[in-house]
Structure 1
Amino acid sequence: MKKEDCFYLGKIVSKFSFKGEVLIKLDTDEPESYVKMESVFINYNKNLVPFFIEKSSLHKSDLLRVKFEDVDSEEDADDLMKAEIYLPLSLLPKLDGDKFYFHEVIGFKIVDTAFGEVGVIKHINDSTAQALFEIDRDGIEVLIPMNDEFIDRVDRKTNTVFVNTPEGLIDLYL
């Protein structure tokens, strides 16, 4: 399994018991959707390695307490600390309407109500306080905050995100 065929689900943040259980900090709004997983991919030594789950339960809302097969001691669990957890993209629930996954809109056009066609989304920058569309407009980078108030609609048939940005925002980059 390749990382580009997967989505990031979370990270192992601590050990939970002397029997090898770990706590995974989930990066999702719906942690309860991931309690009944049978397996996950763990980024282990720069490879995605499948790990099978014996049991799991939610712990303090967004932490998942997991017992993996063949991880039976604190030492085994230590080996997995800070490892990232991934699942295949095929397991993502389908979104409709104006909801979308970041990876889904890469390559979509951005059209602003006042400005017109802005360019093509080349990346989503979610390392800032406010996630940003990184848009390529003929070699010029335009950044538009991914704010619900700015996003009018997402048209999956035409691969277009329609936005209504504050006056002058796009002109700042041109």
Structure 2
Amino acid sequence: MDLTQIGYFSKTHGVKGHLIIRVDKPFFTDDLKAVFIESPTGKAPYFVSEVKDATNGLILCFEEITSVEKAKTFIGKAVFIDSGLVDEEEQEFDWIGYEVIDKNFGVLGFINSISDNGHQTLLSIEHKGKEVLLPLVEDFIEKLDEENKKLLFNAPEGLIDLYLQDTGEEEDL
């Protein structure tokens, strides 16, 4: 069976061991019978008894998890399902792991997360211990090399410097 990561468990819900999953990829919940969670011996199946909508994800009820204490051990863990249940039409391009090379600044690092602030999609890159957020805007993309997972970027002047400047010192005015 081919598995795809669809999100992660963000917190518990209620007192009966239910968990909230933050969903990264849309999938067909009607056919969901089991999810798979990483364990020391591989991905272990957990059988779903109920799926409910929540404002911050989906609430999953499991046959095997019946207490909050047991559910807490799953918080933060990645959730996988059968790839056949993933809604391919709405699946977005996965930018995670792409190396970002700015036209003027050079190599910035690898994309470690993506967020959407409601106005635009932001790529998060850690460069020299600092987070750099770049707007994923078509006009700023010089070239996308999918084979080598490289994104050639042309950030607006001063944007990258804004994130990298030392904020611990006050400037004399």
Q: Which TM-score bucket, shorter chain as reference?
A: 0.5 to 0.7
2:20 counterpart of 1:24? yes
* 1:14–1:23 Cα contact (<8 Å) kept: yes
Q: Give the match for residue 38 of structure 1.
A: 33
- 1:26-62 deviations in Å (ceiling 9; x for gaps): 14374xx2524332234679x8643122332x32344
Q: How high is the sequence identity, in percent, across the aligned residues?
A: 16
TM-score, normalising length: structure 2: 0.56
Which residue type is aligned with residue 37 of structure 1?
Answer: L
- Judged with a 3 Å threshold, the aligned counterparts in structure 2 of structure 1 residues 44 and 80 are, in CA distance, closer, same or farther, namely farther
**Residue in structure 2 matching 1:14, options 12, 15, 19:** 12
CA RMSD for the aligned pairs? Answer: 4.5
Q: Distance in 2 between matches of 1:15 and 1:55?
A: 13
Aligned partner of 1:146 in structure 2 is: 134
Instruction: Tell me what 1:121 maps to.
Output: 109
After superposition, what is the alpha-carbon deviation per residue over 1:93-114, rounded to whole angstroms, capped at 9, x for unaligned? 7799xx5324341xx35242xx
Match for residue 167 of structure 1? 157
Moved over 6 A (4+): 92-96
1:134 aligned partner: 126
- Aligned partner of residue 72 in structure 2, secondary structure: coil
Q: Distance in 2 between matches of 1:89 and 1:151?
A: 34
Measured in 2, the distance between the counterparts of 1:89 and 1:160 equals 28
Residue 13 (structure 1) shift? 2.2
Quote the Cα distance in structure 1 between the aligned partners of 2:144 and 2:81. Answer: 20
Residues 1:80 and 2:41 aligned together: no
Q: Give the paired residue count.
A: 150
